[in-house]
Chain A
Amino acid sequence: MRAVSVKVNGHVRRREIKDNELLLDFLRDKVEVRSVKAACWRGECGLCTVMLDGALVKSCLVLAVEADGKEVRTVEGITVGGELTAIQRAFVEHGAAQCGFCTPAWVLATYDLLKKNPHPTEADLTEAVGGLVCRCGTYNQIREAVAEVAESTSKPRHRAAESLAQA
């Protein structure tokens, strides 16, 4: 066992872990962040996606010990003052969740995409979420939610023609 300290959604969490523990298990079992889902356990479905020091990773392929001293953000950590972000509201409005199991990962991934690239093209979106799976098949609703958020912010002219909102 060794002690690690990980900042999870703004709070420093100190826990005892074993060297062979996954970040996924650490978050779910030791920090009790249950929005991080365990499904395929082998990096294919993407439902355990979290932000590690600001970059999206699949937490089933990261050792907990690697996160020592780092910062993890999950979907709980993107709201500001308890208010839903624009993409979360758009997910609700467009019914972009059916069973909802994969929704935290999709929200996090599309939130991250829109932050880096406020006007993604269809290809940008497809590429960015290539590692995520929704077994209910709400892909179209997710696309609409992303398009709505993209449309609601002002758009640089040169990209307007190819932007997702007009696809």
Chain B
Amino acid sequence: MSFGSPYLTLPDFAYHRPATLEEAIALLREHGDEAKLMGGGVGLIAFMKERLMSPTHVIDMKGVAELKVVEEVPGRGMRIGAAATLEELLEEGKLKKGYAVLHEALSKVADPMIRRRATLVGNLCEAIPWVDSPPALIALDASVEILGTDGKRSAQVSKFIRGPVDIDLSPTEIVTAVEIPEARGRESAFEKFTAGSEFSVASVAVALLNEGRRRSARVVYGAVNPTPARCLEVEEEIKDGLTPASVRKAADAAYEKVECMDDVLASSPYRKHLVKVITTKVLRRMMGR
């Protein structure tokens, strides 16, 4: 059934399901920017329906077994393969204590049926401002592992996302995994504010590191700007620990320093208010743990 309108149909494309990364790279070398990689398809299929993307080749990465692997390497951290779904990552015991911020962010993405199909790497590569995984990954200082025709490289998530719907990835490259460094004594949490949909109007991801004498904090705000960004002033207030006074100071710093955009979802002053509220909320919750 097709009325020729967007939403109902997909553009014409050839479907490929490589079984190995070598096959996938060969397909990309052949088809270049005529091709799009598909993980869960949640983003790509929706984008294609709206004709925001019209690839003539779709390369489904779900058949590449090695991309399914999610492993914790002692001393190094977590390595999450590009085909791992959000549902798989949310299974009990998968994302342990030090990765709480990611668990909390992913558990609030859309609904269980979407999370069954959607992948972390797909969610990240959309780089849509109101998506929740990027702030959480930046708080954890995560990197993406990228395979291209000339070999492997790695990029920090904070640099990989260049702008809204703009990532540092050439048409012949594949994001193969997300790597999150291990940190002993890391406490982390996520909070978001939504208004009538699952999309964030403002979100905050916090990670507090306490490694011996080295104490530091990473606080990342999502959905208030075209790209997620850290707020160093807030980090400064809480790096030595959470007390009622430091939480108050951090919330004030967030209100003062986090730049907020105006858009159809919310005005800039309203977002500033929300930033203060969610900062207080997330830090109080962490203090109570």
Seen from chain A, the residues whose Cβ lies within 8 Å of a Cβ on chain B are: 18-22, 25, 28-29, 38, 40-43, 46, 49, 55-58, 60-63, 65-66, 127-128, 130-132
Interface centre among B9, B45, B49 (most CB of A within 10 A): B45
For B46, give its contact among A28, A57, A61 (CB under 8 Å).
Answer: A61
B58 in the interface, Cβ–Cβ < 8 Å?
yes
Cα distance A4–B112 in the bound complex, in angstroms: 27
Which residues of chain B are near A66, meaning CB under 8 Å? 41, 60, 62
Interface centre among B1, B41, B111, B114 (most CB of A within 10 A): B111
For A63, give its contact among B15, B46, B111, B112 (CB under 8 Å).
Answer: B15
Q: With contacts A19-B58, A63-B41 known, is A43 near B114, CB below 8 A?
A: yes
Q: With contacts A49-B113, A130-B112 known, is A22 near B7, CB below 8 A?
A: no
Q: How many residues of B contact A (CB 8 A)?
A: 25
Cα distance A40–B6 in the bound complex, in angstroms: 11
Which residues in window 42-87 of B have CB below 8 A to A?
42, 45-46, 49, 58, 60, 62
For B117, give its contact among A46, A57, A65, A128 (CB under 8 Å).
Answer: A57
Q: Are A20 and B49 in contact (CB under 8 A)?
A: no
Which residues in window 94-129 of B have CB below 8 A to A?
110-114, 116-117
Residue of A nearest to B197 (CB): A44
Q: Are B113 and A25 in contact (CB under 8 A)?
A: no
Interface centre among B13, B49, B112 (most CB of A within 10 A): B112
For B113, give its contact among A18, A42, A57, A63 (CB under 8 Å).
Answer: A57
Q: Are B13 and A62 in contact (CB under 8 A)?
A: no
Q: Knowing that A42-B7, A60-B45, A130-B112 touch, tell me 8 more A-B residue pairs with CB under 8 angstroms.
A: A18-B12, A41-B49, A42-B46, A56-B116, A58-B113, A62-B45, A131-B110, A131-B111
A-B contacts, 13 listed (Cβ < 8 Å): A18-B12, A19-B12, A20-B15, A22-B10, A29-B1, A43-B42, A43-B45, A43-B46, A49-B113, A61-B117, A63-B41, A66-B62, A131-B110
Cα distance A22–B48 in the bound complex, in angstroms: 12
B287 in the interface, Cβ–Cβ < 8 Å?
no
Which 5 residue pairs are nearest across A and B when measured between Cβ atoms?
A131-B111, A130-B111, A19-B15, A20-B10, A41-B7
Q: Are B112 and A127 in contact (CB under 8 A)?
A: yes
Q: Are A25 and B1 in contact (CB under 8 A)?
A: yes
Cα distance A131–B46 in the bound complex, in angstroms: 16
Cα distance A127–B110 in the bound complex, in angstroms: 10
Q: Are B45 and A61 in contact (CB under 8 A)?
A: yes
Q: Mark B8-36, 1 if CB is under 8 A from A, else 0.
A: 11111111000000000000000000000
Residue of B nearest to A42 (CB): B46
Q: Are A131 and B15 in contact (CB under 8 A)?
A: no
Cα distance A21–B46 in the bound complex, in angstroms: 13
For B8, give its contact among A41, A65, A131, A132 (CB under 8 Å).
Answer: A41
Which residues of chain A are near B60, meaning CB under 8 Å? 63, 66
Which residues of chain B are near A130, meaning CB under 8 Å? 110-112
Which residues of chain B are near A22, meaning CB under 8 Å? 10, 45
Q: With contacts A56-B116, A63-B15, A65-B15 known, is A46 near B111, CB below 8 A?
A: yes
